[in-house]
Structure 1
């Protein structure tokens, strides 16, 4: 026996106007049969000027059936007029909702010529860079607005959140920053001694270590470690909150996410990075002193005496001036990438990786710009 729910389509009419009469159940159960019968029925007729779908004989229809009709209606393009008759109110509502969605036929993207592809990729990269620049400035503006509201007592200052973030960002990063700074300071000093011994001036390794660690290396190592350790954590936290719609929930409750989440992290970065840079510079000098004693035969008291003469307040201030700027860069990049996370784990991983890479790149670029600026003004 024939199933009464078996979907059928009969097409009649002239070559300019076709009437498609549907019957049966146009539901997910009959998806394969529906697609085949629709394609076969319309394949036997040339492209008309108008198509009328008559749903008077349709017993039931779900989203799959409605989507199939919408695809058939859009397959002809905008130059063919289509209409639906005989639909019940519920069927008309479903079809109207589906028709509001843009349904496109799957067309393969045309491959660009080989000579054009590099320029196409460059254009996309430039557009993305400009978009990120605008987004980062928007984050900066919202953060400054949150800071202004706190300073003018229009919003509460979350001291507990600041202490917690300072512990996570700065205090817990001290061991790894000390370790990497000692190792790098020892390596730089060992290689410098090998070269300076050729000229009999190994004692100048103290001056070299002092300037490098306090002006450049100590801060760079701390900033790179913070970008990889804390920047990625900020992006992952904000991204996961965005995926679970917790940021929207805060806004609904009247809590500004920038006030509650971003501002404490920014302030912790501003305080923590100069602290870590100073600790890293001292650790690098400690590694340099150990290697200078072993490889260069420079006693510790002579190393400290020479170090006292090589150091000055200007050398220390250079690193401390650059640290807050790099902290802001890391915080803005991490926040911007966290807010860009979509609703998938793949998106979270991709933006977390992008946060680390972009923050480290911008930190190194900023350090180079500062180096040229201080050299130009003789500071």
Structure 2
């Protein structure tokens, strides 16, 4: 049976400092309260004798070494195995100082500036990456125009179904309810001025010009943009993208272009569909709350809504589709190490696409007002 570790102190006459003699087993199972007892020793020790140790493991070797460093004394009686373990637990001379367990405390002002600077660098890096990715998309598009046989029609048609047909239900319901909300809130505010009839103007112009395509873009970004990032990210994680490059298949042509083309082509159709459903919802609400007949509602729409409002929505839609497709594919191709990265990149794709869509929508609003399409 292995003897429990113990220690004795022997007074040495030649130096006056006591000799610490360890015995028993210096393994983790047999140490017991020995480390606490050794830490409680009051004075320095001249040497540590471990000749009476039956068994020692890494924990025991570290205990002996740390005591020798604490009292600046030598270790005696170590056999070959014990000396090997003691040498193994010694920190390397090239290791440098131990790392700090706590970060340096910064003042609130410095911390805020540091966070703003970090966010700015991330934004600039992402913007630069998107510009470079746009260049890669243009090169891949030109390559497909020059070699139409390499175009993957089956993949594009399948993405048409995923981006467009499968989204008709949720986009239609959302647009119909938005039309009802616009009509109801507009009627409440305009009733105070006796101008309830202008609710038709509000519903028609707002949905065709702005909300129809904008809300559709946000829905497509959350639904299809996230799917693009997750699908390509998992393919990158399982090294399928690298395998495609190995066998001579361009990931830009096989994965990115079908998704971007589906988003660009389907966005105008979905935007028009959403605008029509929103107008139907607004007309339904006007018929109920304002008692405006559907015929009168449609006639009023034709009078007050200019045709260029429809063209503004149709012009913005493919640009929004391009942004959504690029953001999803770009973030998916940035996945590198683990499954958590897929979730982070998917979230980044949705946030990035929605942010850029809103910024571009504001730019379009100013631009079309400047050219006279008011």
Class of the TM-score when normalised by the shorter of the 2 chains: 0.7 to 0.9
1:204: Cα distance to partner?
Answer: 1.9
Can you give the 5+ residue segments of structure 2 that lack an aligned partner in the other structure? 3-25, 27-55, 74-79
Q: Report matched runs for 1:163-174 at 5 Å.
A: 163-174=157-168
Q: Deviations over 1:210-259 (max 9, x none)?
A: 11010001001100100100011111111111211111111111111111
RMSD between aligned residues? 2.8
Could you state the TM-score of these two structures normalised by the residue count of structure 1?
A: 0.75
The 1:158/1:70 distance shift into structure 2, 3 A limit, reads: farther
Q: Which residue of 2 aligns with 1:332?
A: 326
1:378: Cα distance to partner?
Answer: 1.0
The 1:111/1:185 distance shift into structure 2, 3 A limit, reads: same
Q: Which residue of 2 aligns with 1:267?
A: 261
| Residue 258 (1) aligns with residue 252 (2) | yes
Say if 2:65 and 2:90, in contact at 8 Å, map to a contact too.
no
Q: Which residue of 2 aligns with 1:320?
A: 314
1:44: Cα distance to partner?
Answer: 7.1
Moved more, 246-255 or 277-286: 246-255
1:128: Cα distance to partner?
Answer: 0.5
Moved over 3 A (4+): 29-46, 68-71, 104-108
Query: Which has more radius of gyration?
Result: 2
1:345: Cα distance to partner?
Answer: 2.7
1:341: Cα distance to partner?
Answer: 2.3
Instruction: Measure, in 2, the Cα distance between the counterparts of 1:118 and 1:356.
Output: 26
The 1:223/1:30 distance shift into structure 2, 3 A limit, reads: farther
Instruction: Measure, in 1, the Cα distance between the counterparts of 2:287 and 2:313.
Output: 26
Q: Deviations over 1:5-41 (max 9, x none)?
A: x9xxxxxxxxxxxxxxxxxxxxxx9554565566566
Instruction: Measure, in 1, the Cα distance between the counterparts of 2:124 and 2:90.
Output: 38
Instruction: Measure, in 2, the Cα distance between the counterparts of 1:208 and 1:290.
Output: 14
| Residue 182 (1) aligns with residue 173 (2) | no
Q: Which residue of 2 aligns with 1:369?
A: 363
1:164: Cα distance to partner?
Answer: 0.5
Instruction: Measure, in 1, the Cα distance between the counterparts of 2:100 and 2:94.
Output: 12
Instruction: Measure, in 2, the Cα distance between the counterparts of 1:344 and 1:112.
Output: 32
| Residue 217 (1) aligns with residue 237 (2) | no
Say if 2:213 and 2:272, in contact at 8 Å, map to a contact too.
yes
The 1:321/1:239 distance shift into structure 2, 3 A limit, reads: same
Q: Report matched runs for 1:228-307 at 5 Å.
A: 228-307=222-301
| Residue 349 (1) aligns with residue 343 (2) | yes
| Residue 226 (1) aligns with residue 220 (2) | yes
Aligned length in residues = 313
| Residue 72 (1) aligns with residue 55 (2) | no
The 1:183/1:43 distance shift into structure 2, 3 A limit, reads: same
Q: Deviations over 1:280-327 (max 9, x none)?
A: 000000001100100111001111111122233211110011111111
